[in-house]
A = this chain, B = another copy of it.
């Protein structure tokens, strides 16, 4: 009935514990022993499933990116005009990111490590470009359909990504400082206002 083997369950327990640890105290400050204790698993089990602490981190990165990619694909399709579509996406992100500060924290942990570790960087840069291209194409479509003014779509895409990640960053510093989910939506609206084609 249950298709997941015992080993897979253990590996998942380790990954969950590691994610929490890395998010809470950072990669370097989180020991393997601590992860094991938190997962209720021995060190032997850890090194049975993962080659090293580093490779565990990579597994986390890849799992997270895969998840993100999936939820992006969900909203990739649509027939509404581009501005409405972007707003809908930001509303969706609201739900995805308002979940837990820990989730956000690990995301930036990945980002920071990418600047230091070549392997992490290689794993992160490709999806990043993918995202950039995704938004740029969306904007281009908006320009083509006449709902957006003719700015450089890549520039606009980088602006959108900036806005989203910057808000996440502020939320990290001051979780109670604002309704960050709602804020993402309204500042996206603001940016769109700047992008929107003036009726002539």
Q: Does A187 contact B (CB under 8 A)?
A: yes
Q: A155-B183, A166-B165, A183-B158 are in contact. Are A116 and B190 (CB under 8 A)?
A: no
> How many residues of chain A are within 8 Å of chain B by beta carbon?
48
Residues facing B in A146-190 (CB within 8 A) are 151, 154-156, 158-159, 161-167, 169-170, 172-174, 178, 183, 186-187, 189-190
Residues facing B in A21-68 (CB within 8 A) are 24-29
CB-based contact A162/B172 at 8 Å: no
Q: Does A11 contact B (CB under 8 A)?
A: no
Residues facing B in A75-108 (CB within 8 A) are 101, 105, 108
**17 intermolecular pairs with C-beta atoms under 8 Å apart:** A26-B28, A105-B115, A114-B173, A121-B173, A151-B190, A154-B178, A155-B183, A156-B190, A158-B178, A158-B183, A159-B163, A162-B162, A162-B164, A165-B166, A169-B169, A190-B194, A193-B195
Q: Please name 9 further chain A to chain B contacts, defined as beta carbons within 8 Å, in addition to the given A111-B172, A190-B194, A191-B191, sorted by A numbering.
A: A26-B28, A105-B112, A105-B115, A121-B173, A125-B174, A158-B183, A159-B163, A164-B166, A189-B194
CB-based contact B187/A158 at 8 Å: yes
* Main secondary structure on A side of the interface with B: helix
List B contacts of A173 (CB < 8 A).
111, 114-115, 121, 124-125, 128
Q: Does A14 contact B (CB under 8 A)?
A: no
CB-based contact A162/B155 at 8 Å: no
Q: Does A192 contact B (CB under 8 A)?
A: yes
Q: A158-B187, A173-B125 are in contact. Are A116 and B26 (CB under 8 A)?
A: yes
